[in-house]
Every structure is written in C-alpha cells, then in structure tokens.
A and B are shown apart, each in its own frame.
Chain A
C-alpha cells in the first residue's frame, strides 16, 4: 500500500467551556487511502464533524498529527506553541485541494449559482476566461447549467447541494469531505447526490470522507466504514466486513437501520411457528453470509449431510461493493445431535450463526 492520502494519528480535540471540559475526539487515528470512500458513521454528538474538520484544520486539534497528501499540517504531542506546521497562506492553498460539502449546503445567498462556484476560484491562478470555462464545466458536471443565474433560494435542496459540490470541486481537489451532505435531503434526492459522489470517486479518483448518521448512505457508496461513539472509533473495516460481521452493538444498530432485519426478527418472533417452537428439535436462527459462500447451496447440503430441514422465514440480500451479503431467518429442524453438527458446519462455511431461540446451548 502506498502512503495514505489522509493520516490522522492520535487526534484529541478538547473544548473548554467555562468549567467543563468536553472531549469531542479522543485519541482517534484514521488512515484514508487514495481512492477510498471512507464512511464515518455515528449519532450526532459522536465527534464525527469535529474529526473531519481536523483534516483541513478548520478545527485545530488539541494534540495529534495531521498529514494530508504528504504534507504535515499539524504535529503536537503536548499542548505547546507552533503546533500548526504550515503558514497561513500555505494552509489556504492546501485547503483548496480539500473540497468540503455540508448538511445545510452553506451557499452564499447573495450570489448566483455560477457566482457561488466562481467564489471558490478567487485565488486561482487561472485567467478570467479559464475561470468562466471552469465554472461552466463544473455546472455541466452537476447538471445545473440552466440554473446558473438563479439564486440559491430559488433552488431545491438537491440542486443546492449540487451547487455546493461544484464549488467544492472548483480547485480540482484530491479529497472531498462530506459532512452529513445528504441528511437534509429526501431519499430520492439523497440517492442522486450519492450517485454523483460515486461517479466522482470512480471517474476522477476523488477520495471521499463521508460522515453521516445514515447507514443507507454509507452502504451505497463507501468501501470502508468507521463507527464513532463518544469521540472514539469503536469499530472499523471494509464495508463488507462491517455489514457481514459487525462486532459492536452500535454497529449492529446502524446496520439494522439499513436492512430492517431486527424488525423482521421482532415480527416473526410473535408468530405461532416461533411461539410454539419445539425447542428440543427445532432452532430459530439468523444466518448471515457474505461473498463467495453466498453462492453455495448451503440449505440443500444441510439436508443432504445432516438430514436437517430448513424453513426459511425471511431473507434479505444486499449487494455491497459488488459482493453479496445475505441474511436469513430460518427454523432448522432435526435430531438434536444433527442440529448441533449442522450449526457447526454452517459456521465452518463462514456463515455467522446467531441462535435466537431453541435447543441452546449448542
């Protein structure tokens, strides 16, 4: 692996308010590779926004190291002077290479769409004509050419966010930080914006750091995920790992919001078939599988190998980054010993088995 494009090491951000100290970010390290779409998920107040603002030093950390694209922005292991490692002008230059979009768009209300985009080009070395051409090109990219002379108040939320994206891309950044960029949008518009982000990532190799409380959004575009709680990253991994094998309770909660499987479990548990489960010979279980084992005829082999029958009550398959992640709620029936073997066999095949009711302790 090459150098990460963003490297945050042991970042702490502490706010002092009157007599209270608030630790917004607690010794977080994060490495983002070039071309990643890194999703950072957490509830509000988890420190996500504070953490990503450290990347372009909109938030000066209390301690830690910030390296972006090989330049050390900030380095401090103790709170002393001269911790910001680059001058004000250089920082402004570097910030232009880190685009940022926001939940509430933050467009200049008193400027038209094209003026908003041109605002980001004020310090560019391009000639007047080149700037105009750049604005036109960006507005074409976000499909807003016909709106160029309108003011933000005349646009819908999705259009505003597209203007914001065009502005963020004006200086050809290598990194785009998305701070809850889809949280104020309806589901359909959210998908349009996410599709645009995905396109930018795939076609232009833009590295994206996407913070959100919507797992759905992460599921659509991210290839890596970190889950934040109380200023710390409690779990991280590839999208597939996180979805297939979440370890923390909070991660499960977030995944649930994107798949609804917990609700299915609640509903099915109330059904007579589960209420009257023959606990000696039946097991109600949740099977989660991913990647290659999704293609195996597992359920059939359960019967062939162990004479265990499976009654599928609920199924869900997600395609994440081109790989399948499936969840099944099943009742497995058979002799207690064969049930035990069957469950062990499933686990052997890389299927995560969670027994919800029945002859347990297998």
Chain B
C-alpha cells in the first residue's frame, strides 16, 4: 500500500507536510487568506450592498449622491481583473500591511477584489425582500436601524447566506491567484510545484483539496440557507 502511494504520488510526498513548501503550510495559507479576506471584504461588501439598497431612489433614505458613489466604486473595482488588481494596488498594500508579498499582503487585494462582487450579490439578495414588508414596518413607525437589521437583514438572511456561499467559493478561487505575489496556498502549490514542474500528482492533490474546501462551504451554506428560510 505505502509502496503504491510512493509510486503514484512521488512529488506529493516530496513536498512534505510542514516547512515552507509543505502541504500543511499551503492549507493554512489558503484558509488564512480565505478567512481574513472574507471578514474584511465581507464587511466592506455588506456596507456597500446595504448602502446601495437604502440610498436607492426606492430605498428607505433615498440619496442620489451617496447612491452614485456606492454604485460607481463597486462598478470600477469590479471592472479590474483580479490578477491586475494584485499588481496595481501593491503600493497601497505596502502602505497598509508594510509588505507587498506573502499571505498577509494578499489580504488587501483579496478583500478589495471580493467586496464589489459581494456588494452586488447583497444588493440583489436584499432587493428580493418584499418592499411591502418594508412599507409595513414604516407604517408601524420602525426606525432606520430596525428596518435595516430587523427587516432587511432578518428577512433577507437566507438569501444573504446563499450569496455569501457563492462569494466565499469565488474567494477561494481568488486565493489561488494570490500565489502570483508569493502568498502561497493550494493554488500556488498546484501551479508552482505541480504544473510548472510537470508534477501532475501534486496538481491533482492540490486541486482535490481545494475541491473539498469548496464542497464543505457549499454544503454548510446550503444547509444554513434552508434552515433559516421560513418563506
């Protein structure tokens, strides 16, 4: 058995478990990048997504100027291909985290890369909330916060979880590209140590691990979305 593994996955074993190029390191890097950029990008995305909804002409506090700003910022950032964004904002990254390379440096472009996508997804999710329910809340004298948190967030939560799942999966995809600025991770493992060295077994195993992450996210997301939906 162990003989068979050694013959089939020689390069996988060569990479080792710990160390700079090990599997564990790559897994941790991917999880690290996904987690923190999901937090930062998620917060930004929620702010912009809710901003777009409440300031829109049909929103609860229509505001042309703010809506225009939210809308344009999201559109512009969404228009920049991620791989270019990585390079483009490198000086800004250095300003914020003090370095241009590594997993931590990748958090800045990852957060900025994912938030406009998430903001649009949130905007769509919240626009599914029946405007009649919002109107009913206004009619019983609800405050701005009660409508944002008590109506939009609560009524839209199942849909928000669904779009968050989609976003998280596409974020895992983005982390694979972060290898380009030395951030490591499973994507980097598949390309740098697998593809570039003709080590197909490494590529296959790295891909397989990414696939497992995506699958777990999808399953948990679907479960929560279904569980929290009473529509």
Which residues from chain A sit less than 8 Å from chain B, CB to CB?
56, 58, 91-96, 98-100, 102, 104, 106-111, 119-120, 122-123, 151-153, 164, 167-168, 170-171
Contacts and interface: CB of A to CB of B under 8 A. Distances in A.
Contact of A170 (B140, B154, B231): B140
Contacts of B229: 110
B150 interface: yes
A110 B154 contact: yes
Contacts of B141: 91-96, 123, 171
A153 B231 contact: yes
A47 B146 CA distance: 30
7 contacts: A58-B135, A58-B139, A95-B141, A104-B130, A108-B137, A119-B137, A151-B230
B139 A119 contact: no
Q: Which of A100, A110, A123 is the most central at the interface, judged by chain B CB atoms within 10 Å of its CB?
A: A110
A109 B228 CA distance: 11
Contacts of B143: 92, 123
A122 B142 contact: yes
Given A95-B140, A167-B140, A110 B228 contact: yes
A171 to B, nearest CB: 7
B196 interface: no
B138 A58 contact: yes
Given A92-B143, A119-B137, A123-B143, A110 B157 contact: yes
Contacts of B155: 108-110
A108 B138 contact: no
Nearest to B144: A88
A135 B137 CA distance: 17
A122 B138 contact: no
Given A110-B155, A111-B154, A96 B140 contact: yes
Contacts of B154: 108, 110-111
A122 B146 contact: yes
A318 B135 CA distance: 37
B231 A109 contact: yes
A167 B141 CA distance: 12
Interface majority SS on B: helix, strand, loop or mixed?
Answer: helix
Pick the 3 closest A-B CB pairs, nearest first.
Answer: A92-B141, A106-B136, A106-B132
A92 B143 CA distance: 8
Interface in B116-169: 130, 132-133, 135-143, 146, 150-151, 154-155, 157-158
B140 A120 contact: yes
Interface string B82-121: 0000000000000000000000000000000000000000
A106 B135 contact: yes
Given A108-B155, A111-B154, A98 B228 contact: no
A100 B135 CA distance: 10
B132 A108 contact: no
A123 B137 CA distance: 12
A102 B157 contact: no
A360 to B, nearest CB: 52
A320 B207 CA distance: 77
Given A106-B132, A122-B150, 8 more contacts: A99-B139, A106-B133, A110-B154, A110-B231, A122-B142, A123-B143, A168-B140, A171-B140
A164 B138 CA distance: 14
A109 B230 contact: yes
A204 to B, nearest CB: 18
Contact of B132 (A94, A99, A102): A102
Contacts of A123: 141-143, 146
A226 B228 CA distance: 45
